Structure 1
């Protein structure tokens, strides 16, 4: 991939590039300090800076960010009035001048060699974006059940960044370590997308000739939602915005994305027909219920997880399906 005469790749023998780690931050007082500490603890020998794009948080997030910045000059702050992820990423992107951009979420933690390993992989693969495992880890009992579901192909599908697998070129990765020039050449993140902005950017990078590379050695600790309500809201939004991507970029949908809405419609029709016409129509809904129980028994570790997992899986799948089915065509304007 090359744009305006710029070769958008890191050559194997090149020097260690300067890196900017960018974090969109909103209401993250519980996790921000740990996320930043995991970045400051990197073993990367090259130049490193951290740019926090601060949204209008309702907790003490911004106070914590200011304390962190005053303690380390490598931490820079930019205001993100809208609080939206894509806008914050672009503001941080524009403040940076370093050739490599590392995206990290404020509720995530990266392994000590994450950046140095990502640079090695970027050099050897010729990719414009590399990423690895979204390693969901919960603290509470409910969070641990959500984490288990997120790591299972029975929960969210078989994407390698969820479930692991061999390294190789893929459609998208979690978070990502980008060549800044490649992202800037395409106009940055699309701020119309409240969710799925990573997937959408990776699609445009691939369409422009860039390569996206997954390597399971890259590992990010992700903290899942801590309640059914928060989990339902998260996956409802995922479904809504994945539908927007599929409308915007034709041919990008596959059976994994159609399974939750299909299951939702089938289960609802089954229940309605069983109540109004014949009890035998309950069979499809019963089969789905049996699937949830069996999936939970196979996936869960311990009795508590196996009890919670049917609720977790049902919430994730039905919320995603409902979001996908009800996503309005007016959700994102057609022009950037």
Structure 2
């Protein structure tokens, strides 16, 4: 008997914004072509103005598989690329893909099953950060620890159910169009803001631990700091724009930054007091940065040592890098001090 399964499953459109991702984009695309989903699918890559060979690599991928389409994303930002790819796609289920991500073979199948079972408008799962070097493994451990990125479900896992936001996302196309797609003014955190609108419109954002996406961390300290500074700027911007929609956990890093900075400054005042022969009571302020240092060391012992001594040492650097870069960026974004910066921090 003929198998009509393919004809009963909704088609899926993978949408991927790409900019200077020659190192990772092939693995990301290969993971899409290797999906065990038996319904029709297409891959739309929104290509930004890349200078590292990504343009040639993406053209090569599209030339050997007609299901891969490349569209020019002249703006180059993530939300602009996503919207462009969504508008150029055709199927009722839209799967967002990051060039740094590798989807497991059952990702599309499980996601579509979950949408059909729950009626959710967006489904997502766990960002499974995995590194290949000692530095990247330390970053991955920080991502997956409660002290690193706040312990949300999309980083540490949890029970299936409604969520504030999810990693990447598998959307009903009609709901995306209804709420207006991604806000192209928001260069980072656009997924959170979109999910906020979906929930406000009465839709459901659903987390399921059955979905795991391998994520490749930034390869060095400079790129990691730049990533989290940019993310912090936009998180602060979003906290200022939508104050009622932000949890207290978003304010923990900026409060920590201010506390440590104030502790160091007051502690130095205590050193000056001692030098002048006065009672150095301000030295007690050093207790704040000392307490933070102890937290970092304890976190490295609990999480960082699991991947060897080199990763343990890197964890001692990576965790403060994430906290301070994100926290400083948040403060600047929240106080609207980055109007000339945010336009260039989309990646």
Q: Give the TM interval when normalised to the shorter protein.
A: over 0.9
1: CA distance, partners of 2:326 / 2:288: 19
Aligned to 1:23, the other structure's residue is in SS state strand
Matched, 1:101 2:107: no
Q: In the alignment, what sits opposite 1:230?
A: 223
2: CA distance, partners of 1:265 / 1:245: 20
Given candidates 298, 304, 316, the residue that maps to 2:322 is 316
Given candidates 6, 16, 25, the residue that maps to 2:18 is 25
Given candidates 181, 185, 195, the residue that maps to 1:188 is 181
Give the drift of 1:307: 1.4
Verify the 8 A CA contact 2:236 2:332 in the aligned structure 1: no
Kindly tell me the number of residue pairs found equivalent between the two proteins. 320
> With structure 2 as the length reference, what TM-score do the two structures score?
0.90
| Superposition pairs of residues 1-336 of structure 1, within 5 angstroms | 15-277=8-270, 278-300=282-304, 301=306, 302-327=308-333, 328-329=335-336, 331=339
Q: In the alignment, what sits opposite 1:5?
A: none
Aligned to 2:187, the other structure's residue is in SS state coil
Give the drift of 1:250: 2.6
Indicate the RMSD between aligned Cα atoms, in angstroms: 1.3
2: CA distance, partners of 1:235 / 1:78: 28
1: CA distance, partners of 2:284 / 2:84: 57
2: CA distance, partners of 1:50 / 1:97: 10
Give the drift of 1:255: 2.0
Give the drift of 1:310: 1.6
Give the drift of 1:247: 2.0
Verify the 8 A CA contact 2:96 2:169 in the aligned structure 1: yes
Give the drift of 1:68: 0.6
Structure 2, unpaired ranges of 5+: 1-6, 271-281
1: CA distance, partners of 2:209 / 2:321: 28
Answer 1 or 2: which has greater helix percent. 2
Aligned to 2:125, the other structure's residue is in SS state strand
